[in-house]
């Protein structure tokens, strides 16, 4: 995904969302494209990185700064878990199989719903509740977390600190080895 020009949390997250939307639009526009599996594998890797970074930094900030932050973060994490299950199923299928396209359609719809929720509720509330300095720090943390995050879905992995902070780098290491051995571009 393209590096954002600013590093505040809101910009980093919304830039990721726009990048994912561009890939989704490409997948919808060209359902017969020969590189469909590679494109889907790439978007899955990006979604996993994005989710891990949000769970490590953005959701704890929501819990700390927002009224009802625990409920908001828990809801967002539940949506991540559901998307990871779909991504895991999708990894085992191939383009052209009816279930592949059904799962891809579900993933796209679920992620779009998640993006809408974050951009219409969570991100504006965090912008109001956090200082510019804190948003910059959170944005930098999210960018750093994405660099070392796993590239494959791990639906059973912990999604809350401290366990996610401890286990994600190990999962990422294994994912990178699997990616290299399989030739998967992430």
pTM for the whole structure = 0.81
Look at residue 30 in the predicted model and tell me its pLDDT: 81
- The class of domain 9-181 in CATH terms is mainly alpha
Per-residue pLDDT of the chain (186 residues; tens, 9 = 90+): 454 457 899 999 999 999 999 999 999 988 776 788 889 988 998 999 999 999 999 999 999 999 999 999 999 999 999 999 999 999 889 888 889 999 999 999 999 999 999 999 999 999 999 999 999 999 999 999 998 877 765 555 545 554 444 444 444 434 444 444 455 565
End-to-end CA distance of the chain: give it in Å, rounded. 11
Q: How many helices (H) and strands (E) does the chain have?
A: 8, 0
**Nearest-angstrom CA–CA distance, 157 and 128:** 31
CA 56-48-107 angle, to 5 degrees, is 125
CA distance 139 to 11: 8
- Residue 165: what pLDDT? 47
Two structure tokens written together for 13: 């997250």
pLDDT for res 178:
47
Q: Distance between CA 130 and CA 111 in Å, rounded? A: 25
**What is the predicted pLDDT for the residue at 149?**
78
């Amino acid at each position: 995904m393209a590096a954002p020009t600013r590093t505040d949390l809101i910009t980093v997250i919304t830039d990721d969302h726009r990048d994912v939307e561009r890939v989704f639009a490409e997948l919808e526009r060209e359902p017969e494209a020969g590189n469909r599996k590679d494109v889907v594998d790439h978007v899955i890797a990006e979604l996993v990185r994005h989710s891990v970074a949000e769970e490590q930094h953005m959701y704890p900030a929501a819990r700390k700064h927002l009224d009802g932050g625990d409920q908001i973060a828990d809801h967002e994490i539940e949506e991540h878990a559901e998307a990871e299950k779909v991504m895991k199923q999708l990894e085992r299928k191939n383009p052209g199989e009816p279930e592949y396209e059904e799962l891809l359609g579900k993933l796209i719809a679920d992620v779009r719903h998640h993006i809408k929720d974050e951009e219409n509720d969570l991100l504006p509330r965090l912008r109001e509740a956090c200082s510019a300095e804190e948003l910059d720090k959170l944005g930098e943390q999210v960018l750093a977390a994405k660099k070392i995050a796993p590239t494959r879905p791990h639906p059973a992995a912990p999604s809350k600190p401290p366990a996610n902070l401890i286990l994600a780098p190990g999962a990422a290491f294994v994912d990178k080895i699997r990616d290299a051995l399989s030739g998967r571009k992430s």
